[in-house]
Structure 1
Amino acid sequence: GGLNFQDLLMRAGDLLRHGPAVRRYFQNRFTHLLVDEFQDTDPLQAEVMLLLTADDVHENDWRACRPRPGSLFVVGDPKQSIYRFRRADIVTYRRVKQIIADCNGEILTLSTNFRSQANLIDWVNTLFAGVFAEEESDKVPQFVSMDAGRGGVEQGELVGLHRLDVPKISNNREQTAYEAGQIARIIRQAIDQKWQLPDREGKLRPAEPGDFMIITRHKQFLSDYGAQLQVEGIPHQVTGGNAMGNLGELQLLVLVLRALARPEDPIALLAVLRSPLFGIADTLLYEWKAAGGRFEIRRSEADDPPIAEVIAPLEQLVSCIHLLRQLPLIAAVEQIANRLGLTSCAASARDGATRAGGLLGAIERLRTLRDQAWNLETIAETLEGWQGGNEEQDPVPVVPSGAQPVRVLNLHKAKGLEANFIFLAGVKKVRDTSAELHIDRSGDHTHGFVAIAEEKRSGNWAKTALLAQPGQWQDHSDEEIGFLEAEQDRLAYVAATRARGGLSITCCEGGKDSWEYFDAEEEPFASLPTIEAASEAPSATEAIDPADALAAAERAAAEWQQAAVATYRVVAAKADAIGNAEDRDHVQATGEHGTEWGTAVHRLLEVAMQMPEADLHPLALALIEETGLEVEAVEPLLETVERARHSAIWKRALKSPQPLVEAPFVRLASEADGDESKIVRGVIDLAFLEGDSWVLVDYKSDRVGKDADKAEATLRSRYQAQLDAYAEAWEQVTGQKVSERGLLLTHYDRYVTV
């Protein structure tokens, strides 16, 4: 978890550069290297490639390396080099190409296009013949006219060049909504009316959702296109945006977690009670307060106002606090989402598979950040950050659609992809090119020049003010702008070459749009039809007998009540195995070694396994405050964990290639009488792969007397059924064998197998 992808590349480069024996080993292991999409390669990746193929393992300057004959094969198109912002540019491409040529390598030009129809290829050739150069340079690639590798096709509704006309609307969001609605309705009509487009063999066939792709220049409004496709009931997949920011269920979960983290904060609680989750009217909340009710998450008391609409939500939130005390933190968050109906609410929406997938995906991602998610506040802040668009989050549907979806993505994500019909969408004008950074890689050494600027925003407008600059910055800035403007041409080329059969370009009234580069107002572009959104016809009024209305309401209430009757039970694996009553008999509810102590020990052991070098003292202090233990318990807690870390079972787990902590499982089982089903949920404290089978370990902080031998026998007997149930569930869910299961008795410093 301490290295990102760039760190790994840098370390790999260092290892190969200064380790001749390492290079020789990998050269013997990988005798032939094929690199595709080479125009996307940055200098560090090019260095690794040449070090792996160099004929001299002692040469540590990649620019001086010479590939062994037959060891290196690269494929690239400099006209598709569009990643200068991540260090990949034509300069590196040309340098490696020259190294290959200097070693008598063969340079082949591939000019046959097997993707697009001939009319699309002719248009691209005409458009870019005057843009790209006869001889390539560090900024501009060489123009190569494409030849059509596919036969011609008779004209279908979705063949050739089209434009989508969008009227002038001052608000970008509203204009995008209009355009997205038009695209969605055109796709709907194309599918319903079986508009024709060519397959890979050039034969016409009816359109399907997977034939369409919507490409934008910006990421900002990607979710708007997905929303309009959803209105039309068209399966779709949005990539590269922040669809998670539109998940109302995730927003509600954040509100709930903040309230649970501050159970005595009336503002946090009121936000939840007034939210769509409970929807309590202000008049009822005022009535509750005026009658002496308190806005605290607690069990109802005899003197509380008899307002069921407020008492019921408070009881639900109390049950959520119990989950937080009984389960590991992330597992509890997942159960809270389920118990409050957030997962069901997401799944029941029109785009339920995607919404539920987004919610569950966010919770699943929290599991990968457990070392940073120490308390509810941190989890709430993390989820809120994801919603705010700080990172790209693309929900994955929990149940994949049977049909291939319409793809919605921005241009940088679309590179390398294709579709039968492409919509180049977007009404937002591309910003003028400016430079704040210039990297010069033209010589033997790389030089960087940075200007420091401040962006000042006013509404939708932004202005950049220069604060500091290096010497001769204007020359460096002009050079960088030349690179960036040349890349704009290549971006347009990539956009124009994604389509197999048909291409549509959005044209906004007034010419200020994302694709004005193509000037699609003129021939040979044909205008796509404008399809108005369907409006519901007003229904005829009908007199209703009040008695009939009352009877209908009663029937509806009875049906809801019947639907709410569970056809299954949800049980905890531990309680199901050993019985709730027995479990309560030996666990103290409070006190030094009660449930609070056990919770703190479990959390510390969880982090200790994930982060062996971590300082646990700050976490112990946080857990003391969270669980209500006395501050004097910090040192005993840390000592208990330290003893566990020195145990033999702990060391075995650390050596495992796949150690898992707090591993949740869910399985369907039958009741003993066979009449009903039950869903069994559980969390395994520690599971690790040893050889070809698994070892399951459960932590126990129980105290059952001073005699360790007798305690061991008692606890082994008590938890035998629980470990057996865990092993059965693990084998059923994973299909892999469990060879050992045991208890780590933290109070007695013992590990016992059962």
Structure 2
Amino acid sequence: IRAGLDRLRAYFLTRAGAPRKRFTDPRLPGGTPRGRRFRAAAATLAPVVHDVLTRFDRDVNLALARGVQRLFRIGVAEYRRELEARALLDFSDVLERAVDLLRKMDEFARSRYRLESRYHHVLVDEFQDTSRVQWELVSLLVQSWGEGSGLVDDAPLPPSVFVVGDRKQSIYRFRDADVSVLEDAGVAVAALRPDGPEGRVRQWISHSFRAVPDLLAFVNDLFTAIEKAPARRDAFRFDEHDRFPLAGPPDAAGGRGPALGLAVGESVERCAELAAGEIARLLRDGQVRDRRTGLRRRAEPGDVAVLFRSRQSHGEFERALHGRGIQTCVYKGLGFFDAEEIKDLRALLRYLANPWSELRAAALLRSRIVGISDRALARLAGGLSDALLALDVPAAMADLRGDDAELLALARDTVPRWAALVDRVAPSELLDLALVESAYDAELGAGHAVQARENVKKFRGLVRRVQNRGYATMARVAEHLDQLPGDVSNAVVDAFDAVNLMTVHAAKGLEFPVVLLVDLGRGAGAATPPVRVTDRGDTEASVSVWPFRTEADEDQRLAEREESKRLLYVGATRARDRLYFSAVATGGRVEPNRGSLGEVLPATFIAAMERAVAGAQPEIDWTGKTGRSHRLAVVGPEQPRDRASAGDRSAAS
């Protein structure tokens, strides 16, 4: 039945699930009476098929959702039992229990007296990233202040509550942040002192001391032009209180061209080459304002940030920069266990835990700790562990040439000694010994060396932490590392001499003289999940299972779009002196995917980016709704001398 219904769905409905209005069938030419009758009948049947399939999906979804909820309850119960067995609370438990305690306190409760005697003033910063439960905790703490009762009213100074936030920068919806809570908090705080001065309840901070006037004017016009959804509580808004007053240092780019730029190419790789070439040019002869002195100085790698929507975007830009000898530092853009140096160290520990495993021997031989080629690995296949540990030289070694033969000979001198020390010395000490004897630090000399060394240091710390919990064999350490979650972030380093590569989320709260917003057409990369849970806060969470679609699914899509607008705002406001936009144009057209930053850009700005594809003009203009024209430099192909100069400078640094 399902197969037949899926065929009906594909024929009568669009990919979006709507009834088709036009039908094509090569067996029925459109000009014949029979073809016209068939298409008319199909168009009439399409809404009926849509209705039948919708009801079928709804009934199936009801059964599937019950099953999902049952599995979820079982999983939660098991999780709770594990926590209770260890006398632990997770973050959600701590928050929920604190709120539950405050809810149950009457005015004579001992806990209430203790809290009121301790806390008279509350300041909540970054409130736009607060969840509804977190706000409930704060509101319960200050509830009595508006009632004129409690110990706090006898204090020398009246109690106060400050809530500081910017709704345009609420970008943690995936962590339950609710931008609408900010509005609710404003109403609640005003209600605490209904007789107080109304103008002092809510105040706005509009001045920016970060960016030059050209960038501020552009941000004002760009986000005024972005499409708004005023009916939504979580809507992105940009009104008169959000516009930046245009006062600040003149001569934004130091007389060296516009403060805005576009890097548009036919592929991500091409965009990366354009962006890397522009960065090389800026490092050669660009100037930025020093944050401490305000004076202009030569641009350095640490002044530049390349920001992207999702983690999948950094690789091409990292490679393009490395090709010019420019150091990079990836902030949370690459999973810790996906970094090449961590793969090498894990291969070493996993091998030492079981040195006679062919698979683990292959991973170690191919890692940079040994580093033989794929061809050599193929020649040694079937005897990889013997190639490292056997006393007799394997016959296959005679077929190895050049570096492969030398590398394997060195490995045969060191690896057996490491294997003999397993569980005789601490795993961390053996790891340190292997790193020294293999001269592994030399392998980290190119590319993001600073980040790689910090990652190695972090990995060594993880190994020490595991062994300090008690007796830990190498096998237990390797198994524990295999079980760690894959979303562990890279070690945090100060990239004073490296270009910063990071997601917009990671860049929040930071600022850079030069910012490049890249790969604007790429979405978050997440396909529609088979199971979707929607919690609007006022009713029980709804569960839907694909292919059933609900109104909540559309609401989720619109909520994601509003979040993308806020992400774009955060990214654009990280720049102090220069701001670049980069996107792929296929066939001269910039067509952003769903969930991308480019999806929410004004159509007029997308058109300006498409004009930059041809590269015929070094600069183009974009005009916002205010009528002000903004000049944007078009990043063109890199000149040979630019590449040489950038490489020379990187080597010198």
TM-score bracket relative to the smaller structure: 0.5 to 0.7
Q: In structure 2, which of residues 452, 475, 487 is the aligned counterpart of residue 391 of structure 1?
A: 487
Pair 1:196–1:97, CA change in 2 (3 A)? closer
Map Cα deviations across residues 203-231 of structure 1 (whole Å, 9 max, x no partner). 54432333322111111132443444344
Residue in 2 that maps onto 1:501: 577
CA contact (8 A) 1:153 1:203 kept: no
Map Cα deviations across residues 471-507 of structure 1 (whole Å, 9 max, x no partner). xx62322333333322222222222322222211114
CA contact (8 A) 1:158 1:196 kept: no
Q: In structure 2, which of residues 279, 284, 299 is the aligned counterpart of residue 207 of structure 1?
A: 299
Q: In structure 2, which of residues 530, 546, 553 is the aligned counterpart of residue 477 of structure 1?
A: 553
Q: In structure 2, which of residues 235, 255, 263 is the aligned counterpart of residue 140 of structure 1?
A: 235
Distance in 1 separating the partners of 2:497 and 2:443: 22
Give the gaps of 5 or more residues in structure 2: 1-85, 149-156, 399-404, 610-620, 623-629, 644-653
- Whether 1:10 and 2:101 are equivalent positions in the alignment is no
Map Cα deviations across residues 356-395 of structure 1 (whole Å, 9 max, x no partner). 2212212212334456995545544565677xx9214223
Distance in 1 separating the partners of 2:452 and 2:582: 29
Distance in 1 separating the partners of 2:95 and 2:432: 36
TM-score norm. by structure 2 comes to 0.65
Distance in 1 separating the partners of 2:641 and 2:561: 45
Map Cα deviations across residues 595-626 of structure 1 (whole Å, 9 max, x no partner). xxxxxxxxxxxxxxxxxxxxxxxxxxxxxxxx
- Whether 1:109 and 2:198 are equivalent positions in the alignment is no
Q: What does 1:234-273 align with in structure 2 at a 5 Å threshold? A: 234-242=326-334, 244=336, 247-273=339-365
Distance in 1 separating the partners of 2:503 and 2:566: 15
Does the residue aligned with 1:222 lie in a helix, a strand or coil? helix
Distance in 2 separating the partners of 1:354 and 1:155: 32
Q: In structure 2, which of residues 476, 493, 500 is the aligned counterpart of residue 407 of structure 1?
A: 500
Q: Percent identity over the alignment?
A: 25
Give the gaps of 5 or more residues in structure 1: 60-67, 170-174, 454-465, 538-754
Distance in 2 separating the partners of 1:7 and 1:101: 30
Does the residue aligned with 1:178 lie in a helix, a strand or coil? helix
- What displacement does 1:39 show? 0.9
Q: What does 1:78-157 align with in structure 2 at a 5 Å threshold? A: 78-103=167-192, 104=194, 106-129=201-224, 131=226, 138-140=233-235, 142-145=237-240, 146-148=243-245, 150-156=247-253
- What displacement does 1:36 show? 1.3
One-letter amino acid matched to 1:251: K
- What displacement does 1:243 show? 5.8
Pair 1:333–1:277, CA change in 2 (3 A)? closer
RMSD over aligned CA atoms reads 4.3
Distance in 1 separating the partners of 2:439 and 2:476: 23
Distance in 1 separating the partners of 2:245 and 2:456: 46
Map Cα deviations across residues 130-177 of structure 1 (whole Å, 9 max, x no partner). 5577978512255333232632412526775533333213xxxxx2x4
Residue in 2 that maps onto 1:637: none
Does the residue aligned with 2:436 lie in a helix, a strand or coil? helix
Q: In structure 1, which of residues 274, 289, 295 is the aligned counterpart of residue 386 of structure 2?
A: 295
Q: In structure 1, which of residues 481, 484, 490 is the aligned counterpart of residue 566 of structure 2?
A: 490
Pair 1:533–1:113, CA change in 2 (3 A)? same
Distance in 2 separating the partners of 1:76 and 1:368: 38
CA contact (8 A) 1:128 1:143 kept: yes
Distance in 2 separating the partners of 1:287 and 1:89: 58
- What displacement does 1:102 show? 1.7
- Whether 1:530 and 2:636 are equivalent positions in the alignment is yes
Pair 1:212–1:351, CA change in 2 (3 A)? closer
Pair 1:158–1:241, CA change in 2 (3 A)? farther
- Whether 1:354 and 2:433 are equivalent positions in the alignment is no
Pair 1:99–1:427, CA change in 2 (3 A)? closer
Distance in 1 separating the partners of 2:570 and 2:635: 26
Residue in 2 that maps onto 1:440: 536
Distance in 2 separating the partners of 1:420 and 1:143: 24
- Whether 1:25 and 2:114 are equivalent positions in the alignment is yes
One-letter amino acid matched to 1:532: E
Deviates more, 1:28-37 or 1:252-261: 252-261
Distance in 1 separating the partners of 2:503 and 2:257: 23
Residue in 1 that maps onto 2:517: 424
- What displacement does 1:320 show? 1.2
Pair 1:52–1:3, CA change in 2 (3 A)? same
CA contact (8 A) 2:129 2:177 kept: yes
Pair 1:125–1:230, CA change in 2 (3 A)? same
One-letter amino acid matched to 2:573: T
Q: Which has the higher contact order (CA 8 A, sep 6+)?
A: 2
Pair 1:45–1:379, CA change in 2 (3 A)? same
Decide which structure has greater helix share.
2
Pair 1:126–1:12, CA change in 2 (3 A)? same
Map Cα deviations across residues 58-81 of structure 1 (whole Å, 9 max, x no partner). 99xxxxxxxx95321011121222
Residue in 1 that maps onto 2:29: none
Pair 1:375–1:221, CA change in 2 (3 A)? farther
Distance in 2 separating the partners of 1:303 and 1:78: 67
One-letter amino acid matched to 1:408: L
